[in-house]
Amino acid sequence: MLALAEVGGVRPLRYQVGEPLPAGAAGAEVLIPGMGGADAVGKILGELPKLRLIQLLSAGAEQWIGRLPEGVLLSTCRGAHGGATAEWAVAVLLSLYRDLGSFAEAQRERRWSPHTTDGLQGKRILVVGAGDVGNQLRRKLEPFDANVGMVGFTAREGVHAVGELPGLLADADAVVLFVPLTSRTKGMVDAAFLAAMPDGAVLVNASRGPVVDTAALLAEVSAGRLMAALDVADPEPLPGDHPLWSAPGVLITPHVAGSVQGARRRSYAVAVTEISRWVQGELPHNLVHGEY
């Protein structure tokens, strides 16, 4: 609220999901759903006849696709959580390569168990998703002397097209997923994708669970051929009896890659910038366009 109050021409109204809308809400042109999600917040859209823009505090927009009233634009919070999410990817890669899980287990058992581990130096890391998060990860990995390749939906300087993936996977020690969940990416990491990765490679998923075929991944990690670090799952939350929990070489975190101190402040900083553009008659930079 305080951040929005500094934007000229904006009168912020606070609402609480499940309670009546505040006075004046019928004239609102911009909605910030908070973290309530489309299921909770979508119920009030019919009470906002002048709504023209929904500004998210998250980078993922899949919940809102197909649920927007006609004429309402959708803008994400791209740029707010990239640093934290990229940091998570570095952390899980280091944890797997340096075998920190086994050392933690040995510590719990008060057992001195030295052994040689792997490392990031010289590793070939393929980052699928060449947006803000992907580029943040590239910058963080290069000081470790890792070799980073980038893949985007279209080719450009320094970025391979997604269509080149089949020829790139065989040389990747790790594949990191930073793609949105869309009709094009749902199930893109299937049995053929995983089979193209070399023995001992690591799959890191910080995008959305359905991007990866869970059954195909479970088969690969259960056989000990691949390792995985997952911040998202399909289904999510992952049921307590799901075999992924105990699969060898799998590190799971509960969708917290971007959940760090300061995340909300950074989210609102991006939101304020986007809404300021809107107030000035410009289109927000993070609009969701076309097929999603």
| Structural domain contains residue 290 | no
- Find, among 156, 191, 193, the residue nearest to 172 by Cα: 193
Q: Give the domain range for residue 9.
A: 2-79+260-279
Residue 231 belongs to domain with CATH number: 3.40.50.720
- Find, among 284, 286, 280, the residue nearest to 8 by Cα: 280
Interacting residues of 194 by C-beta distance below 8 A, sequence separation 6+: 203, 213, 216, 217, 220, 226
| Structural domain contains residue 288 | no
The domain tally of the chain equals 2
Same domain assignment for residues 156 and 272: no
| Structural domain contains residue 285 | no
pTM of the model: 0.90
Same domain assignment for residues 209 and 103: yes
Catalytic residues: 208, 236, 255
Residue 9 belongs to domain with CATH number: 3.40.50
Task: Print pLDDT tens along the chain (292 aa).
Answer: 556 766 777 888 988 888 888 998 999 999 998 766 788 787 888 899 999 999 999 888 888 888 888 899 999 999 889 999 999 999 999 999 999 999 999 999 999 999 999 999 999 999 999 999 999 999 999 999 999 999 999 999 999 999 999 999 999 999 999 999 998 999 999 999 999 999 999 999 999 999 999 999 999 999 999 999 999 999 999 999 999 999 999 999 999 999 999 999 999 999 999 999 999 999 999 998 754 4
